[in-house]
Amino acid sequence: MKRLEGKVALITGGARGQGAAEARLFAAEGARVVIADVLDADGERLANELQGSAIFQHLDVTRPEQWEAAVQVAEKHFGNIDVLVNNAGILKLAPLESCSLDDYLKVINVNQVGCWLGMKSVLPSMKKAGRGSIVNVSSTAGMEGIAGGTAYTSSKFAVRGMTKSAALELGHLGIRVNSIHPGGIDTAMARPPEYADFEPSAIYNSLPIARIGRPEEVADLALFLASDASSYCTGSEFIVDGGLLAGKTFH
């Protein structure tokens, strides 16, 4: 039996990168998938590729009314939502001294508020289903700081914290909540314009697994948490970082 057979999943930021890898894998494992993103053309293309297993829904995760519409579309087409992957995120890097309040709040609104709105918005649907798994995508920046990343790090620590609080509140409803903490993953977001002249290979070459991660490797972890294989896991962090956080080596 496929691992997500009969389940309905909503994946934010699902049009490309980690979200697209998750959408493909979830559909292959039997889920019916709502691909939610602001990238309409990419999202529609992916939904067409998945041939009836998925639909695309425009979703700006900072807008409560768009969340409400996305949940309604999911229920209308597929039924109650069983899985939410809060994958949408943005990265803006700037030193504290030069980071504007507007840029700080843009990151907080997408990465932090968007995640909170997602959990809140799917809750009625999951309660009707009598089950649910929420997978919040944080980052290794939710475990340690990044110089030049006060906004991003703040948002990802917040995702880690709200995951634990939600897990405590929702466990008795049969709803599990966990966070994923990717390190460097080969996606468009991992190549911000601020780092256009920066060569990251030295960082990855020094890891125990000496390479950048693949979106499919994050998707495999999300699948585990979305599926019943993780039925006793809630309120926890799951790290996929090639050993980045394991410690320091001296050569």
Q: What is the pLDDT of residue 187?
A: 87
The pTM for the full model equals: 0.95
Measured between alpha carbons, how far is 227 from 1 in angstroms, rounded to an integer? 12
Q: For each of the chain's 251 residues, which pLDDT tens digit applies?
A: 899 999 999 999 999 999 999 999 999 999 999 999 999 999 999 999 999 999 999 999 999 999 999 999 999 999 999 999 999 999 999 999 999 999 999 999 999 999 999 999 999 999 999 999 999 999 999 999 999 999 999 999 999 999 999 999 999 999 999 999 999 998 877 666 656 666 666 678 889 999 999 999 999 999 999 999 999 999 999 999 999 999 987 76
User: Alpha helix (H) ranges present in the chain?
Assistant: 17-28, 40-49, 64-77, 101-107, 114-129, 150-170, 201-205, 215-226
Measured between alpha carbons, how far is 35 from 47 in angstroms, rounded to an integer? 7
Q: What is the CATH number of domain 8-186+214-237?
A: 3.40.50.720
Local structure of 87: helix, strand or coil: coil
- How open is the CA angle 206-243-138, to the nearest 5 degrees? 120
Token match 């009314």: residue?
65
Residue 10 exposed, middle or buried by CB count within 10 Å (0-12, 13-18, 19+)? buried
Positions marked active-site? 152
Length of the chain (residues): 251
Measured between alpha carbons, how far is 154 from 145 in angstroms, rounded to an integer? 9
Q: What is the pLDDT of residue 243?
A: 94
Q: What is the pLDDT of residue 196?
A: 63
Q: Tell me, rounded to whole angstroms, the distance of Cα 43 from its chain centroid.
A: 16
DSSP string, 125-160: HHHHHT-EEEEEE--GGGTS--TTBHHHHHHHHHHH
Domain range summary for the chain, segments of one domain joined by +: 8-186+214-237
- How open is the CA angle 170-175-180, to the nearest 5 degrees? 100
Closest CA to 142 of 105, 102, 183, 203: 183
Residue 75 exposed, middle or buried by CB count within 10 Å (0-12, 13-18, 19+)? middle
Structure tokens of 168? 């405590």
Are 2 and 229 spatial neighbours (Cβ–Cβ below 8 Å)? no
Q: What is the pLDDT of residue 188?
A: 79
Measured between alpha carbons, how far is 214 from 152 in angstroms, rounded to an integer? 21
Structure tokens of 132? 């649910």
Q: What is the pLDDT of residue 1?
A: 84
What lies within 8 Å, CB to CB, of 247 at 6+ separation is none
